[in-house]
Amino acid sequence: MGDIRKKKLALVEVLNRNMGDAVIADCTERLLRGKISKRGLPVNVIRYDIASGDFGLLEEADGILFAGGGILKFRQEEFDRRIVEIVRFADERQIPVFFNAVGVEGYDEADERCQALKAALRLPCVRGVTTRDDLRRLDEDYLRGTKTPRRLVYDPAVFSSEIFRVKRQPEAQTVGLGVIRDGVFEDYGDALFPREKQLAFWSGIAEELTRRGIPWKFYTNGVGRDEEFVDALVEHMGLSDQESCRMPQPRSAEELVTMLSGFRGIVAGRMHSHIIAYSLGIPSVGILWNDKLRMWSERIGEPEHYFAPADCDARKAVETLLQAKRKRLLFPRWQRYRLMKPALGFLDGIVRAPEKPSRGECPDFSKRLLALAGGGDRRRYGNLNSAEVLLANYKKGFRLFEIDMRLTTDGVPAAVNGWNDATFRRLGISGEPKLGVDWETFRNARYYKTYPTSGMEEMFAAAERCKGSTLLLDIGKPGGEHLESFFTAIADLLAAHPQMKKRVVLRLQKRAHVPAAKKRLPDVPLAYSLEPLAEASEEKLAEQLVFCGKHRISRLFVPREAFSAEVSKACREAGIDAWVLSASSVTQLKELWGMGAAVVGTHYLDVKYVKQIME
């Protein structure tokens, strides 16, 4: 294709901690990328969070494709509003839109939300809609009278086994019990299956399996409220050893597929547990809390494996599962072709469309983006301060890393974003606010039960391996009695890692700390944090800039809400770079860079992702 600019396809996904939604998006993207590569299409696929409102990203797109999932609905969640916003935005800018394998959940002529969704689907920018379930409702209600192509297809997750190259483990003996949050039944109109009955149902299944000598484990698709209900179940059953009765919370689509492959069968609430199990050839029994599960069960010819809440009986569920037989599904090639053909036709249209005007040369984003707390992961997790994640984000293009440094109660320098309740929740431990915990407790904890904690020694060792990187240390606002301990720890770290001596910057937040740091760490460059600007903000800012100039501080950290073109201009005239905290979207990045921010910090974006969008 020579030097032809690649077209950008925004793949709209539901970005949350339900890894069933991640499986949909991952499968759709991999299917698309396979065809793009095979046919040599000049197209880049860029993931877009449906709830982000990041229209600065969408305006860069040449096409928008919704990856799938149960999003054409209006009574629960807010997908209808998000879809309306995205499609209207696209229509105003003549960006074509395609809906791939979406679920259609209900229709109401008198409901304003439903009618707004209908109107959006009928806009000229919408070039096609395929559905995984209710084609009749889509055809007769939403798209009646239009020429918009529509088709019934399978959910992309039916190909998850082959896409992730994961097969059923034939020797597996454990039954998976896929728990769903207790409030979901009431949310979808069934008040006859309250929490007490659900506790009895799931515990009854576990007890029946135990009576038969069959091992079992609770699991979830990753949803936090589902995990909380597992906690309640474990407590209800009086189980003391949690590890023996539950699976770890999955953090990626592949982890969910791999976990399910290790079960002989499942009883589950979440729809994509069943679809993935079907792909793997693993028997499953389900609970009908939503029409989409009923339509799925009918389509695969197994309605007898799915029970209405009123019919949920633990012994019956176990009997049904043990008698169920399912061979691993091998979809014929034409089924994949049927799923992907409409989307590929849409891609062909994007490729043929005229190119957008070039934006000119793009900056070096590795010099414009700062990875806060070492950077986040999967656009879902932040404030990790983990050496493991820092190394991963280095591969994603980051060269500027901010790390939070605090001392444990026994004086060990730890990489952690303050000792507070939010930190303790992320780590799953108890501690004293401001004081923290001892090193042993911290070292053995995990962020979100997954990401390992790190001491500052580990952080320095990791950064040392990242050539060309800069490490900004944020020590917070320690009292004077602890300040010397911080300076001593930093001096020791620099002595142990001499290659880092010219690659470390110390960020300070108290004026009194500046002369102390210059005296104790004379060779370490300093950054300063903007003090709150109340009344007489211009004079207050000017005073702080003079202070920075006096102490040869060339970097000033500014909160996003306090940053403006005027602040940027004042910093620039004083010879100081404004480093702004923080941005979670491309829209915010554009705005901050447009106002003159030298560097922008982020927890959730990364250099590789931004470069793909902006170039």
Please state the rounded mean pLDDT for residues 328-332: 58
Neighbouring CB atoms inside 10 A of 300's CB total 17
What would the two tokens of residue 106 be? 């209900």
Threshold 0.85, pTM exceeds:
yes
Q: pLDDT by residue (tens digit) across 482-500? A: 899 999 999 999 999 999 9
Q: Cα(175)–Cα(234) distance, rounded to whole angstroms?
A: 16
Q: H-helix or E-strand containing 601?
A: strand 599-602
Whether the pLDDT of residue 187 is over 60: the answer is yes
Express each pLDDT in 248-297 by its tens digit: 999 999 999 999 999 999 999 999 999 999 999 999 999 999 999 999 99
**Rounded Cα–Cα distance for residues 478 and 485 (Å):** 10
Nearest in space to 78 (alpha carbons), one of 104, 50, 58:
50
In sequence order, what DSSP letters do the residues of 343-390 get, joined into one string? Answer: HHHHHHHHHHSPPPPP--PPP-GGGTEEEGGG--BTTTB-----HHHH
Q: Which residues of 489-502 are buried (b: 16+ CB within 10 A; e: fewer)?
A: bbeebbeebeebee
CA angle at 295 for the pair 105 and 335, rounded to the nearest 5°: 105
Indicate the pLDDT class of residue 164, thresholds 50, 70 and 90: very high
Report the pLDDT value the prediction gives residue 536, as an integer from 0 to 100: 65
Whether 450 has a pLDDT exceeding 80, the answer reads: yes
Q: How far apart are CA 525 and CA 368, in angstroms?
A: 19
pLDDT band, very low/low/confident/very high, at 3 (cuts 50, 70, 90): very low
- The one-character DSSP state at 42 is -
Secondary structure of residue 150 in the 3-state scheme: strand
Euclidean distance between CA atoms 262 and 74, whole angstroms: 36
Question: According to the model, what pLDDT value does residue 337 have?
Answer: 79
301: left (phi over 0), alpha (psi -120 to 50) or beta: left
Which tokens belong to 282? 């693993």
pLDDT by residue (tens digit) across 501-539? 999 999 999 999 999 999 999 999 999 999 987 666 888
Do residues 372 and 124 make contact, with C-beta atoms less than 8 angstroms apart?
A: no
As to burial, measured by CB atoms within 10 angstroms (0-12 exposed, 13-18 middle, 19+ buried), residue 112 is: exposed
Backbone φ, ψ for residue 180 (5° rounding): -120, 150
Alpha carbon distances (Å) from 546 to 453, 525, 526, 541: 39, 17, 15, 9
Distance CA 359, CA 425 (A): 44
**Alpha carbon distances (Å) from 337 to 333, 344, 577:** 6, 10, 53
User: What 8-state DSSP symbol labels residue 164?
Assistant: T
The reply to whether omega before 582 is within 30° of 0 (cis) is: yes
Extract the tokens encoding 252. Answer: 């990626």
> Which element (helix H / strand E) includes 319?
helix 314-323
| Mean pLDDT estimate for the chain | 94
Residue 334's pLDDT band, with cuts at 50, 70 and 90, is low
Cα–Cα–Cα angle for 268, 274, 278, rounded to 5 degrees? 140
**Are 600 and 578 a contacting pair, CB within 8 Å?**
no
Give CA–CA dist 604/74, Å, rounded.
Answer: 28
Contact, 578 vs 558, CB < 8 A? yes
Number of Cβ atoms within 10 Å of the Cβ of 442: 25
Token pair for residue 6?
């690649």
pLDDT at residue 328 greater than cutoff 60: no
List own/partner pairs for 271-274 with CB under 8 A and 24 or more apart.
271/20, 271/70, 271/296, 272/19, 272/20, 272/21, 272/23, 272/24, 272/155, 272/157, 272/221, 273/20, 273/176, 273/178, 273/221
State the pLDDT at residue 355.
84
